[in-house]
Structure 1
């Protein structure tokens, strides 16, 4: 398990600043699973994209317009959504918000960043 981080304490993991008022931090991971925290400023966009990973997301704060394969819904605090492997998806933060995303398998591109 050389590519593993089993424990995380608040604020011990640095944020990676992204475009358009977003930031992320990889919280914990194994080869099979990864948890990532994303912060969005109000109005920020998570651009439409796809990846081979299955993604499950929990809205920890705020409200998001979520689009998955051409279908959209507004998901608020306490809600969740799942993105199947290869599905085109993106979000818009309708207010300042935070997503807790899990990916299987882990996103090696996030570890390399």
Structure 2
């Protein structure tokens, strides 16, 4: 891994498109932990997927339909959720919004 990024200032980071048509930027990372921000337009979908990383997500803006292991709830700004390792999960933006996701260990595929 390249040198860890341990400080982040507002507006830093390059937005990159995700395979499902949304946007992502890395905020901070070490070998053990990664923080990433995801932006969705209204109707944007984070397709159902799984990964070995434990994920926690904080809804910074908007409302999302969140599905984890077949269970779906609607969550709004200020809410959060955890995805245990290898569970199938995804989101749908009910309005434009942003998620702040943390992963442990870091997502090497995002670097």
Counterpart Cα distance in 2 of 1:104 and 1:35 = 9
1:54-93: per-residue Cα shift (whole Å, max 9, x none)? 0000000000000000000001000000000000000000
Deviation of 1:8 after TM superposition, in Å, equals 1.1
- Residue of structure 2 in register with 1:54 after alignment: 54
Q: Is the deviation greater in 56-65 or in 13-22?
A: 13-22
Contact 2:20–2:47 (8 Å) recurs in 1 = no
Aligned length: 111
Q: Which of 1-10 and 94-103 deviates more?
A: 1-10
Q: What CA distance in whole angstroms lies between the structure 1 residues aligned with 2:56 and 2:80?
A: 7
Over aligned residues, Cα RMSD in angstroms? 1.3
Quote how far apart the aligned CAs of 1:20 are: 4.6
**How far has the Cα of 1:26 moved from its partner?**
0.6
Runs of 4+ that moved beyond 6 A:
none
1:105 and 1:20 map into 2 onto residues whose CA distance is: 23
Q: TM-score, normalised by structure 1?
A: 0.93
The Cα offsets for residues 25-76 of structure 1, whole Å up to 9 and x where unpaired, read as 0100100000000000000000000000000000000000000000000010
| TM-score, length-scaled by structure 2 | 0.95
CA shift for structure 1 position 17? 1.4
